[in-house]
């Protein structure tokens, strides 16, 4: 009996210490999530009480051409940024892992852009991509390109421009890859050299398998980030030209705060969550074939 009371007292003390986090989680996370799920089944124009309409919002998505267009744009953006971003980040990490003079300065230079707020970075790149006065087109004209691209003003180049800008903030990812590279056992490289493996074979058979858990982690984070991307296209293109950069989250935002269709926006948010779960689930399923953990 006494031991039982002591356990209750210890549990109560633990809950008391956790109570600030538990209250914050309940008020700012669990409650909004629950409300958004309920509102996804409602017609809620913000200025009037929500009216329960069942699955009408989800059914409306099936016949919403803008919904499917934003979904295609998001998929296209993901295809442009995910593979290229991973290759660039791994390549930069490999270069920064070399032993050369001043390597710490190079690492700092690579990491610094990731500290700049996205809105500020977007404004800088907005001027860099300016068709008439931007630095990029000025350099291209100097190099002899008579008609440089209209980066953000043409349907052909607008989405690739956003993809190029996304590589600006890869500093955090590169640092994680760099930490993974430094954890690969040196004995594996020594054994590969003894066996006569070329640098390319060492990269393919030692380095990439050695950092495969890090690659997997960054892949999951990149999937979540790509699906939720909003700030950069909103600042730089507002979805234009001709809605070629109108991403899923931008349409969700417009439904919620421009069109005042909060119920429809809540339904879109849960569809977005479902997309993230499916994509990450596929990544976890495939990881057993290419992710190698040390000691296994």
Report phi then psi at 197, rounded to 5.
-70, 135
Domains and CATH numbers, the chain: 60-290 (1.10.3720.10)
149's tokens: 């691209």
Burial class (CB in 10 A: 0-12, 13-18, 19+), 230: middle
pLDDT tens column, 95-153: 999 888 888 899 999 999 999 999 999 999 999 999 888 999 999 999 999 899 999 99
Question: Exposure string (b/e) for 54-85, b if CB count within 10 Å is 16 or more?
Answer: eeebeeeeeebeebeebbebbebbbebbbeeb
Helices (H), the chain: 2-25, 31-39, 56-62, 65-96, 103-111, 118-128, 135-142, 158-166, 171-182, 186-194, 199-202, 208-210, 212-227, 231-236, 248-253, 262-290
In this prediction the pTM is 0.91
- Dist. CA 134–CA 127, nearest whole Å: 5
pLDDT band, very low/low/confident/very high, at 2 (cuts 50, 70, 90)? low
pLDDT band, very low/low/confident/very high, at 5 (cuts 50, 70, 90)? confident
Beta partners for residue 51, in sequence order: 43
Indicate the range of 9-23, 50-64, 77-91, 163-177 predicted with least confidence.
Answer: 9-23
- Dist. CA 42–CA 216, nearest whole Å: 38
| Strands 51-52 and 42-43, bridge-based pairing | antiparallel
């Amino acid at each position: 009996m006494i031991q039982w009371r002591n356990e209750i007292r210890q549990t109560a003390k633990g809950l008391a210490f956790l109570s600030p986090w538990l209250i914050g989680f309940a008020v700012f996370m669990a409650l909004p999530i629950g409300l958004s799920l309920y509102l996804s089944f409602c017609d809620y124009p913000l200025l009037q009480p929500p009216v329960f309409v069942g699955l009408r919002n989800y059914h409306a998505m099936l016949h919403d051409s803008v919904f499917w267009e934003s979904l295609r744009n998001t998929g296209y953006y993901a295809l442009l940024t995910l593979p290229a971003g991973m290759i660039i980040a791994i390549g930069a990490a490999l270069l920064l892992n070399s032993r050369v003079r001043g390597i710490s300065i190079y690492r700092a230079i690579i990491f610094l852009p990731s500290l700049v707020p996205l809105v500020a970075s977007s404004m800088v790149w907005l001027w860099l991509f300016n068709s008439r006065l931007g630095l990029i087109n000025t350099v291209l004209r100097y190099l002899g390109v008579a008609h440089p691209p209209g980066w953000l003003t043409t349907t052909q180049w607008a989405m690739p421009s956003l993809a190029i800008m996304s590589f600006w903030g890869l500093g955090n990812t590169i640092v994680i890859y760099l930490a993974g590279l430094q954890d690969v056992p040196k004995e594996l490289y020594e054994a590969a050299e003894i066996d006569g493996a070329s640098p390319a074979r060492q990269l393919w058979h030692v380095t990439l398998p050695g950092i495969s858990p890090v690659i997997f982690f960054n892949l999951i984070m990149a999937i979540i980030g790509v699906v939720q991307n909003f700030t950069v296209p909103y600042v730089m293109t507002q979805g234009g030209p001709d809605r070629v950069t109108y991403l899923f989250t931008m349409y969700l935002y417009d439904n919620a705060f421009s069109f005042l269709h909060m119920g429809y926006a809540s339904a879109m948010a849960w569809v977005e969550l479902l997309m993230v779960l499916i994509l990450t689930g596929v990544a976890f399923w495939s990881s057993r074939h290419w992710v190698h953990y040390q000691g296994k």
